[in-house]
Amino acid sequence: MSDIKFGEQYGFNTRAVHTGNDIDKESGAIRRPIIMANSYALPYDPTDVNWSEAGKALYTRNGGANQGYLQEKLAALEGSEDCVVLATGVAALSAIFFTFLESGDHVVCSNISYIAVYRLLTELLPRKYNIKATLVDTSDLEAIKAAIRPNTKLIHIETPGNPTLNISDIKEIAKITHKHGALLSVDNTFASLYNQRPTSLGADFSVESLTKYINGHGDAMGGAILGSKVLIDKIRAEAMINIGGAISPFNAWLIMRGTVTLPLRMRQHNENGLKVAQYLEALPCVSFVAYPGLESNPQYETAKKQMINGFSGVLSFGLKTDFSTHNTFVSHLKVITSAVSLGHDESLIVFLGPEDERQYLYPEAFHNGFFRFSVGIEDAEDIIEDIRQALTTVGLLGPLLL
């Protein structure tokens, strides 16, 4: 990536604005256009064109213009050699599994992770391809070492993990992984590459659901894998072209536009996340708050070491009440929206637990039902006031309890 126009000699904010953009040669526009073409003109004699080749202007599933611009920018922001963008975060995660795992291989993964990863590793991959996984608490380095087998090819972690915010030490896990000759992939979605850059800490892959913070506006889905050119090329050749989870040029363009304000938005998410976590922690009706930026969090030191700019806007918390009061509380919120997803501009809350079978596997981590709360970039005072008035309405907070 050293030959790109806005590379690492520039600061993060400058790269967020400029990398991947340029003057459109045909129109003179100072914004590159959306190129909604499926195909690109072939040379006079196409005999030598390889239909399964990545990167050449051929067909959008092999690599279109807008996805190329986005890849250039994301790699420059992470500081990685290369990047491939795909249709969703899950397309990116499964692209890693399908590219680097063979029948008979073994994976070590965080015991609580994104639900599609859990399904892929515990149901689909073992049943269809005899790929086995051992799920461990990856904040425990000894547990990882104990889970590694001779046929372990991949260690996959999420830090902070979805939805419990568990923190794992990327640098230490990279050492363990490489000593064994395996690959380490880190799902970096909760932190985003503004707050944490796993490839700079030794991970082979950093995975981002672009749907979340990177696009940030809740209006387009995408996924990215960042890493070395050799490994990313293999993913392009095996997974993007032949499994086919290519991103649409329009979504790549929308996400490119979202990334311009990524550092501004993340600074506000970091600030609001901490304020809301501190507010919740002080309430008598709150049973726990999991937020890596709270000094009371037992994983604070590890989080601080690897989350360079802040702790992001996602937290989880529990209320000392029954299931139905959780739903009533949510129904009284006016600023905060009840919906899945996270990392949008607006605050989103979701009640987790009753429907999740992991509630029974990991009762302690699941706290008998809890909220995942993605704190948005509204005014922190309005978010806090919204929580206060809804808790008061359901009787969990009274004037005397304040």
Ligand X SMILES: *Cc1c(COP(=O)(O)O)cnc(C)c1O
List contacts with ligand X (CB under 6 A).
88-90, 114, 158, 162, 187, 189-190, 209, 211-212, 221, 223, 342
Between 189 and 259, CB nearer to ligand X: 189
Between 49 and 340, CB nearer to ligand X: 340
Q: How far apart are CA 231 and CA 95, in angstroms?
A: 11
Between 210 and 283, CB nearer to ligand X: 210
Nearest to 36 by CA among 69, 73, 66: 66
Between 156 and 391, CB nearer to ligand X: 156
Between 161 and 249, CB nearer to ligand X: 161
Least separation in angstroms between residue 109's CB and ligand X is: 12
Least separation in angstroms between residue 157's CB and ligand X is: 11
Between 80 and 185, CB nearer to ligand X: 185
Counted residue by residue, the chain has a size of 402
Least separation in angstroms between residue 314's CB and ligand X is: 8
DSSP letters for 296-340 = TSTTHHHHHHH-SS---SEEEEEESS-HHHHHHHHHT-SSSEE-S
Distance from chain centroid for Cα 194:
12
- Show Cβ contacts of residue 38 under 8 Å, excluding neighbours closer than 6 positions: 59, 60
Q: In what order do the strands lie in the sheet with 132-136?
A: 82-86, 223-227, 205-209, 183-187, 152-158, 106-110, 132-136
C-beta of residue 262 within 8 angstroms of C-beta of residue 80: no
353: left (phi over 0), alpha (psi -120 to 50) or beta: left
Q: What angle do CA 400, 401, 402 make, to 5 degrees?
A: 95
Using Cβ positions, the residue closest to ligand X within the complex turns out to be: 89
Bridge partners, 351 (sequence order)? 371
Q: How far apart are CA 52 and CA 193, in angstroms?
A: 31
Between 342 and 387, CB nearer to ligand X: 342
Backbone angles phi, psi at 332, to 5 degrees: -95, -5
Least separation in angstroms between residue 221's CB and ligand X is: 5
Between 166 and 177, CB nearer to ligand X: 166
Nearest to 86 by CA among 103, 99, 102: 99
